[in-house]
Chains A and B, each alone.
Chain A
């Protein structure tokens, strides 16, 4: 199965999934559960943006949560100190994360594997420590309150779902274009890609910046939803969740991170009342999937659907 057809199938499957999700408020209008779905959509954007790096470009960053936090603070700080309206705050948050991602992406471009992971982890920790210790500006761990945008949970659900759809469409268009080919070539063999004229520096930096901007966008949106921004958004554990969701759903596929995010987060909330062992189970699943089913749930599904085509894509 060629990459193009595979990508289109994944896109159609994702679109169907989003349509199904959009129908949910018909049966479930409970404020609490709508809130859970909103947070799931937030994580789905983060996981999809991280997947662009880890799954499609081969850059294993450990900073997605930090970029979401940067986006959230971009919105909250500009709202607090310059009374910026929400739309502009979203743009500022997204832009700040994208710009910082551009700089960091350019710097870490040469690094691979554990070195890249260590550098992005350090960056994430620095960002979080600065946010939590610059008490006079950010109020530190107490969090920066930000005036909510609106209150209607159903509306918030559609806003987040729309944002997720927007990110998925953007990723699809990007991956379908030449850029997608180049990124895949870089992931599979960087030296060979360079030899055949792919501008490695440009494409890797661009991917890093776009991924960071998408994470920042999710964070900024979340800031208006939660109306409180704290450094916890950037905790390494949050990145752990994003990684888990992507690995469980299926790394390197368009739909995997979305499935993973909704599955992991909704199940977590659902199981909260029965003891809270869900995080243990998900962490164990991450290891099992990494060890045995490298293509995640989505890979298992496609393999089950096409038993005769041999190896799953």
Chain B
């Protein structure tokens, strides 16, 4: 069944899907690295980005080159506010919270997800919004595959953004600060790094990246209040696969998941394709909790 042409097709499509996954997953991994929590409202940053882009570009007629960064800023602002108001108890007086810390993080992010979905549902409406495409060409040849122009353009923006994030984390002062706090919060604080500011920064960055993903995909997948649920679940799978908190791991795991789903859907089962990643997640948490690239010995 699997001819060479089909395999090439599946590979290209899987990798492109994986790129979009990465935009979500890298932010989630950053948050986990710095705060040691899973943000269960991550999909709602994606949703907010999709709406911000759609409304700014389609309703207000702002040029697309401005609308995309606007969506990013919107998501970043929301992430920053969320961190300032709701995440502070996680490390402000960590000693008195003890065991309840994890529980608090799950409830609050879960509640935030419910709040944002229902708020948008009531304030904007349950209808799907269609956003203007970045490129109008509806068929472009990409190596052995054919793809819509929108998808090619979105993949391009994604690649550039991810490269920028990689450089930022590697070389800038704040990037190094993020990595230092991820490795050892207390140590980094003692070395004079403002861990609180770093926490705000990663939440803003993660919110912005997820919002950008939502904006880029909104011409393909229309904005609706629950549009974030699907990409959020994919990104949970990815951060576990890549090793909770590992940025490079999250990136590679994103591409891998894209490929697994693409090939699995044709070779194993089309019907059950969305369960592959979830099964992998459970298997990894049980047998290789450090993920593909995480450090060994992390407390699970």
Chains A and B in contact, CB within 8 Å: yes
Q: Quick one: CB contact mask for B96-120 with A, threshold 8 Å, 1 for yes?
A: 0001111111111011111100110
Tell yes or no: B80 within 8 A of A by CB: no
Does residue B236 face the partner (Cβ distance < 8 Å to A)?
Answer: yes
Tell whether B227 is near chain A: CB-to-CB under 8 Å. Answer: no
Partner of A287, one of B37, B86, B236, B279: B86
* Complex contacts, A243 vs chain B, CB 8 Å: 107, 110-111
Roughly how many angstroms separate A290 CA and B100 CA in the complex, as a whole number?
A: 10
Partner of A244, one of B111, B237, B278, B279: B111
Stretch from B8-16, B46-54, B267-275 that touches the partner = B267-275
The contact size tier of chain B is: 35 or more
- Tell me if B99 and A122 are in contact (CB < 8 A): no
Count A-B pairs with CB separation below 8 Å: 125
Q: Which residues of B contact A135 (CB under 8 A)?
A: 271
Question: Of A110, A188, A236, A247, which contacts B107 at CB under 8 A?
Answer: A247
Contact of A125 among B233, B240, B271 (CB under 8 A): B233
Interface bits B246-285 vs A (CB < 8 Å: 1, else 0) = 0000000000000000000000000110110011011001
Q: Does B300 contact A (CB under 8 A)?
A: yes
Alpha-carbon distance between A244 and B113 when the two chains are bound, in angstroms: 12
| A33-56 interface code vs B (CB 8 A; 1 in, 0 out) | 000000000000000000000100
The interface residues of chain B lying within 8 Å CB-to-CB of A280 are 115, 118-119, 122
The chain A residue sitting closest to B240, CB to CB, is A118
Nearest CB in chain B: distance from A36 CB, A: 20
Tally A residues with Cβ within 8 Å of B: 46
Q: Determine the chain B residues whose CB is within 8 A of the CB of A247 once the complex forms.
A: 107, 111
Q: For the complex, give the distance between the alpha carbons of A60 and B113 in Å.
A: 17
B160 within 8 A of A: no
Q: Does B286 contact A (CB under 8 A)?
A: yes
Tell whether A277 is near chain B: CB-to-CB under 8 Å: yes
Q: How far is the CA of A290 from the CA of B115 in the complex (A)?
A: 14
A290 touches B104 (CB 8 A): yes
Query: How far is the CB of A190 from the nearest CB of chain B, in Å?
Result: 9
Assess A112 versus B300: contact at CB under 8 Å? Given A125-B278, A243-B110. Answer: yes
**Per-residue B-contact encoding for A176-188, CB less than 8 Å = 1, 0 else:** 0000000000011
Interface pair A60/B106, CB less than 8 Å apart: yes
Contacts of A123 in B (CB 8 A): 278, 282
A62, A118, A276, A291: which contacts B86 (Cβ < 8 A)? A291
For B20, the chain A residues whose CB sits under 8 A away are: none
A243 to B110, CA, bound (A): 9
Choose from B99, B275, B285 the contact partner of A129 (Cβ within 8 Å): B275
Q: Is the CB of B286 within 8 A of A107?
A: yes
- Please indicate which of the listed interface residues A118, A134, A135 has the most CB atoms of chain B within 10 Å of its own CB: A118
Residue of A nearest to B102 (CB): A113
Closest to A110 in B: B300
B112 touches A240 (CB 8 A): no
B interface with A by C-beta (< 8 Å): 32, 36-38, 40, 86, 89, 99-108, 110-115, 118-119, 121-122, 229, 233, 236-237, 240, 244, 271-272, 274-275, 278-279, 281-282, 285-286, 289, 300
Give 9 nearest A-B pairs by CB, closest first: A113-B102, A286-B111, A283-B115, A283-B114, A114-B38, A279-B118, A122-B278, A133-B271, A290-B107
